[in-house]
Structure 1
Amino acid sequence: MKSKNKITQNNGAQTQQLLNTCQLFPSYTYELEVNPIKVKQLHKPNSINYIGTDAIRHIKDKNGNRLTGKGIKVGIIDTGIDYNHVDLRKAYVKGFDFIDQDQDPMETKGLGPLSTFHGTHVAGVIAANGKMTGIAPDAEIYVYRALGPGGIGTTETIITAIEQAMKDNVDILNLSLGVSINGPDLPTSLALDKAVESGIVAVTSNGNAGPEIWTVGSPGTSERAISVGASTPELEIPYLQYDRQLFRLKPIVGSAPWNLTRSYDIIDGKHGKKEDLANLSVDGKIVLMKRGDITFTEKVMNAKNQGARAVLIFNNEDIEITAQLETEIDIPAAILTKAEGERLLRLIKDKQTLAKIIQKKEEDLLADFSSRGPVTYTWDIKPDLLAPGVAIESTVPGGYLALQGTSMSAPHVAGAAALLKQANPDFSPAQIKALLMNTSILLQDEDSQTYKPFEQGAGRIDLVRAFHSNSIIQPASLKYGKISGSKFEEKTKLITVENISDEPVHYTFSTPPRSDAINWDLPMPFTLGPKQKTKIKIGLEVKDEHKQNQIFNGYLTMHANSQTIQIPYLYVVNEPNYPRIMAFSLETTKQTDVVKYEVYLPGGADEFGIALFEADTFQFVEFLDVVKNMKRGLVTKKAKLKRKIHSGVYIAVAFAKKEGKEDYVEQVVEINQPQ
């Protein structure tokens, strides 16, 4: 999180109104997280049709046109677009560059590693019309370049772009961007809510900070927008088989495909340094290495130079990582988790046998990187739904590329929303959001366990089910908020049931499994005639003595004739274990004894403080600030050094305590004092 001075650009009255709504928060730095995989020849992207696009093309809109997005205006707030790309020329209508302040939203080009391609990739998924066909190939694309070189942008540029999209009366708006701060009151989240209120279907990525809980970031925390997590389309995944045990491989970007058909020896290559491999017989073998000491590129290149057939690198930490080589190397290389790497290392030492590579088909799994919810403070369920976001081929300047990230998932939903809007021009953003959620497919993990609502929302999008649905249920998810857990409580939610078909629909609820924690008060069966709608109550009776500081969630099953609709629900008990501090930055000022800091506290703090330590010895210096009962949200303050300290590098540790839980974030800061 980086702070800037107050906004000085005159963005017009509507922007100022949005910024006032957002409390004139300082600017955050927005960044994009995607992992590129080179595509030498475009295949037919399977993710486009995996959600059912081809299967509904025969459906006609009210003017007799096939469903291609014709007449629908889709805004894209991103890094710009290569509007000269042969697959995007037809779709591009107009745009604006809020980085260079002109009407040319071209991607950043000619700046080496700072050149961009992200917006062009997003646009291709939505509306490519050439060698590649997007979900809505006849949609009209309006492009707003709000992220500049390196894919970096600020709150001001993004909110200004949202304002322009509202002025242009776009029907759909895609934002595949975000910050890793889980708060409903962040500026872009509030601005997106305003855009939806104006009639725009806003779609945003949920974030790439998974698999941990509470990792959804703004604007994915927007209440009214459709926040999209990432699932896998049908993929072939390489596995290493050794002594009848299987190890899932995560290929390193820039290495060769794992098309190995023979059996191979595996040897321990230590850390993959030249001296580690010097006295080993490496030629024609798979080399197992531990992460650390040198770069991934050096490890793989050292093994290649010794004649290795492939490289496996296992992590030295219990976290998920994705690796990319600095240059392409023509042998396969992949990442293993710490646990699996250590297990394989023990096996090759205990039992000498040959390894082989097998390919397994996988589909409809939640991507590890996909951010999870729920949203802090409001306890909203995010993501709202999932869409394919792994190995997604699409357009980039000069060709095509496969990328992964929730940035790739969001445009699948934006394209789907464009088709729904074409077929149903009178549908509101809330109806389109609910319809997509009502008809999504609940996914299960490899152990056949259904993912939780705060992991997958209502499930993976399915256009066939959406276009053949007889009903819309809204809201499509139920958030019951916070309870004390120590006494009997009743919660009630009103939902609207709408029959959108031309036939009567009979509605029933399945009886939820018995629970020691809750009782449900569900409506009796009822019938609605064609185009009728009604409101019904969904009651929740919370029993005594809940487990404290927990998240309770699941799905209610509703039947609309033969159609099944899964409705996610969630509530929390007291203060669940969300991070008590989400972001922290500290910087010096012109006054040598004064520092300025920003911190985001999702639920406020019983006690907040900043401790200063020597960087080399970690010896305590002083408390820069200590505050009792700190308010929630973004806090910007100045703090004064209480005594004179020498110039140098220090570590500032910000901590927040709330309801017995304490978290901290640290930052290195350089303090210069006059001689």
Structure 2
Amino acid sequence: MKKISAAVIAILFFTIILPQQPLSAALVSSASTTFSLPQLPEPSPNERVVMVFSTKETPDQAELQQVVKHFPSIKIRYVFQEVFSGFSVEGKRSNLQKLEKQFPHVQYSSEAYTYKADMEGSVPFIGADKIRGYFDPKGQRLSGKGVKVGIIDTGIDYNHPDLNRNYKGGQDFVDGDKNPMESRNKNGASTLHGTHVAGIIGANGVMKGVAPEAELYAYRALGPGGHGTSDQVLAAIDQAVKDHVDILNLSLGTDVNAPDLPITEALNKAVSKGVVAVTSSGNSGPNLWTVGTPGTASDAISVGASTPPMKIPFLHIKRGRVEKDMKLLPMFGGVPWGLTKTYPIIYGGIGNKEELKRVSGKIVLIQRGTITFAQKVKNAEEKGAVAVIVYNNEKGEFLGSVGKESRIPAAAMSRQDGEWLKKMIKKGTILGPTIYKEEEDRLADFSSRGPVTINWGIKPDITAPGVKIRSTVPGGYLSLQGTSMAAPHVAGACAILKQAHPDWTPAEIKAAFMNTAKVMVDDKGLPYHTYEQGAGRIQLEEAINTGTLVMPGALSIGRLPSKLFMEKEKVLTIRNVSKETKHYRFITPPKSAGMEFELPTAFSIGPNSEKKVTIRAERIDAFSKKKDLIDGAIFLSDGESTIRIPYLYVVNEPRYPRVMGFAVDNGKKTNTLHYEVYLPGGAEEFGIALYDPESMKYLGLLDWQKKIGPGLKEKEVVFPKNIRLEQIVAVAFARTKGREDYQELTLHMKEKGS
């Protein structure tokens, strides 16, 4: 059975009905249930795997070499020195198990996680054009000159004419050399992500990035297809710190919302050594609690995606007294959506050829699922349709792409709008003209939201343009979207800010952007929540000119229990970075959801000086049971400007996903499985249930435990010998305080010897 990575699996929460009896009873009774079914193949002791070992201190390399030489199959991959104590090795599974026992100092080990890449008007939109008229302390124009920016990604096409001038070197942790060129593979595994990211940060040719004279260093940790292991990313962070980069961009991640995984902790360590770390928050929105590691790193700058100024197509439907505008998201790779005439709209089912009847000269509404977007569009095109709209089969909007061979435009639509339009079509002929609306500073639907589990931190910290961003790719230019495109806008802006204020620490640079961010509002004019947009969209010119820094830039107050009169204290550092004395006063916010703040009285701070102040949040009455996330902002005036400081606290035990990162592999022994799962809040009951994928018939339990603590869990379990299915649905579930959460994956089983 092939290893399934937690980073590659989409997190799905199902409402599957488990057996009605108590799980402990189900565990006992499953042994007496008879199935005529195969057993798992015996895991090969010769299978080569990569393991990461954590040690209390940086391992002695001579001692490690001495132990490893007794195992010819084992190859040392990396010894981590700067941001993580440990090492990684590759070798036969059987030998790695022996190594763990023979090498002292090992705290724990795990197979390497897989990380994946998150995939012109945006540059001036954040103020990068205005700052060209500003100068650094040396009298040079602000362009990122002299600032070293490291990019941990799929590599860079350093031969691109817009990038070769700024490329200064790097390292390849996929092929193990010093040539971090993008993957070039004829089998469809070529990459372009890192080159696109690099162009946003520092293109300097036909296209200009945010910091066009920054020095670019490439660390290729993601290989063909855009995937890489956790030890490769760790090694890249380690090397970047050794190379003394000033800024580090990581447009990559997993779907695990955890503040305590190795790469998250490594980024915090890098920041403590003076590196400004910028990460994408993830593309798993619009649901809450979807921000993924390393975007959960408390000291890094986690970036969500917003829209730059753009014309958005809407389908305008008017029938009788009913009138509605429905947003369209044009798909990538095909013909741009530029319809100006009015066409009839017809329903085309799932998009199979036999369903597409009388579609010639019409727009076809098709449901997402079963066949690819490209196939749906191709089928409609062959039948004479003028355009295709694919509506979602689950809540929210989605990103889609079709092949370049498509000759008609295609767009995506939300499920809510699609179902409504389908009902209207059934009532009679619908005409659908396209209208276009100007839009900017909207939070992208795909942008992952916070907060962070366990420590209840506010993430993302800020947002930046991440929709329809044109940048460099091998051989030319291309528009892409994702928080991967938002993060490098901030990384480039950090390079500019570092040039303008070379003595500022990572915390001060982060605060400058958060203190001066523009608060974004939705289509109804209401501000997005703090745990959706952070402090808001970055404004580079305002950040450079700020005279006051408030650190941290947001108050993650944490969890408040149900008892009344609970209070928590937070300390803010107010730094006057101007050349004059400033007089400060807090503006008392209105009481909100049973909370009020005790704020310091007015005070003054001299030039280039700072003061620590204590903010006390007090709970004065009972909270509404309907809300478990309470956010808002307090304000600090320095006489010239007002700084907004967002806050967040959670009530009791909020409703966050209890199961994440579920992955399964062969165990060390015959007929066993090894699983990993992340339980951010632990569970009163945890287990893994097995189902027949055809009938969803319950087959039994693979594991079951009571009162399990939070964190990453690993265990080897015996697989029932009497189950002989080629595919099995495994559902990891957690039950706590009457709530049940699930994550499922399909196991592809093979008989021994096959």
Under TM normalisation by the shorter chain, which class is it? over 0.9
In 2, Cα distance between equivalents of 1:357 and 1:425: 50
In 2, Cα distance between equivalents of 1:232 and 1:287: 27
In 2, Cα distance between equivalents of 1:475 and 1:610: 41
**CA 1:368/1:23 → structure 2, altered by over 3 Å: closer, same or farther?**
farther
Unaligned runs of 5+ in 1: 35-44
Q: How far does residue 626 in structure 1 lie from its aligned partner after superposition?
A: 1.6
**Structure-2 residue corresponding to 1:130:** 205
Residue 64 in structure 1 maps to residue 149 in structure 2: no
Residue 407 in structure 1 maps to residue 452 in structure 2: no
Q: How far does residue 589 in structure 1 lie from its aligned partner after superposition?
A: 3.0
In the superposition, the TM-score normalised over structure 1's length comes to 0.94
Q: Which piece of structure 1 moves more, 160-169 or 554-563? A: 554-563
Correspondences of 1:103-502 after superposition (within 5 Å): 103-243=178-318, 244-278=323-357, 280=358, 282-350=359-427, 352=429, 354-502=431-579
CA contact (8 A) 1:2 1:27 kept: no
**CA 1:546/1:30 → structure 2, altered by over 3 Å: closer, same or farther?**
same
**Structure-2 residue corresponding to 1:41:** none
In the alignment, which of 1, 5, 11 is matched to residue 2 of structure 1?
A: 5
Q: How far does residue 277 in structure 1 lie from its aligned partner after superposition?
A: 3.2
In the alignment, which of 711, 732, 742 is matched to residue 654 of structure 1?
A: 732
**CA 1:609/1:294 → structure 2, altered by over 3 Å: closer, same or farther?**
closer
Q: How far does residue 439 in structure 1 lie from its aligned partner after superposition?
A: 0.7
In 2, Cα distance between equivalents of 1:317 and 1:486: 38
Q: CA RMSD in A?
A: 2.1
Q: How far does residue 53 in structure 1 lie from its aligned partner after superposition?
A: 0.7
**Structure-2 residue corresponding to 1:574:** 652
In 1, Cα distance between equivalents of 2:432 and 2:688: 53
In 2, Cα distance between equivalents of 1:283 and 1:261: 17
Which secondary structure does the structure 2 equivalent of 1:627 belong to? strand
**Structure-1 residue corresponding to 2:123:** 48
In 1, Cα distance between equivalents of 2:699 and 2:422: 45
Which secondary structure does the structure 2 equivalent of 1:237 belong to? strand
Residue 33 in structure 1 maps to residue 108 in structure 2: no
Q: How far does residue 480 in structure 1 lie from its aligned partner after superposition?
A: 1.4
Give, as a single letter, the amino acid of the residue that structure 2 aligns with 1:263. T
Unaligned runs of 5+ in 2: 7-48, 53-74, 88-105
Q: How far does residue 16 in structure 1 lie from its aligned partner after superposition?
A: 8.4
CA contact (8 A) 2:80 2:234 kept: no
Q: How far does residue 511 in structure 1 lie from its aligned partner after superposition?
A: 2.2
Residue 11 in structure 1 maps to residue 78 in structure 2: yes
Q: How far does residue 2 in structure 1 lie from its aligned partner after superposition?
A: 2.9
Give, as a single letter, the amino acid of the residue that structure 2 aligns with 1:166. V
Q: How far does residue 351 in structure 1 lie from its aligned partner after superposition?
A: 5.5
Q: Deviations over 1:589-628 (max 9, x none)?
A: 3533322111111111222112233344433333222222
CA contact (8 A) 1:383 1:457 kept: yes
In 2, Cα distance between equivalents of 1:415 and 1:342: 42
**CA 1:443/1:89 → structure 2, altered by over 3 Å: closer, same or farther?**
same
Which secondary structure does the structure 1 equivalent of 2:456 belong to? coil
Which secondary structure does the structure 1 equivalent of 2:743 belong to? strand
In 1, Cα distance between equivalents of 2:559 and 2:453: 11
Q: Number of residues paired by the alignment?
A: 663
Q: How far does residue 275 in structure 1 lie from its aligned partner after superposition?
A: 2.7
Q: How far does residue 90 in structure 1 lie from its aligned partner after superposition?
A: 0.9
Q: Deviations over 1:54-74 (max 9, x none)?
A: 111111111100001111111
**Structure-2 residue corresponding to 1:554:** 632
**CA 1:652/1:351 → structure 2, altered by over 3 Å: closer, same or farther?**
closer
Which secondary structure does the structure 2 equivalent of 1:236 belong to? strand
Give, as a single letter, the amino acid of the residue that structure 2 aligns with 1:599. V
Give, as a single letter, the amino acid of the residue that structure 1 aligns with 2:471. S
Which secondary structure does the structure 2 equivalent of 1:136 belong to? coil
Q: Deviations over 1:278-324 (max 9, x none)?
A: 4x2x3332223333454332332233223322222223333432221
State, as a whole percentage, how many aligned pairs show the same letter.
49
In 2, Cα distance between equivalents of 1:111 and 1:30: 22
In the superposition, the TM-score normalised over structure 2's length comes to 0.84
Give, as a single letter, the amino acid of the residue that structure 1 aligns with 2:681. G
**Structure-2 residue corresponding to 1:664:** 742
Q: Which piece of structure 1 moves more, 552-561 or 392-401? A: 552-561
In 2, Cα distance between equivalents of 1:369 and 1:647: 36
In 1, Cα distance between equivalents of 2:114 and 2:478: 26
Which secondary structure does the structure 2 equivalent of 1:275 belong to? helix
CA contact (8 A) 2:593 2:630 kept: no
Give, as a single letter, the amino acid of the residue that structure 1 aligns with 2:631. N
Q: How far does residue 373 in structure 1 lie from its aligned partner after superposition?
A: 0.5
In 2, Cα distance between equivalents of 1:47 and 1:344: 33
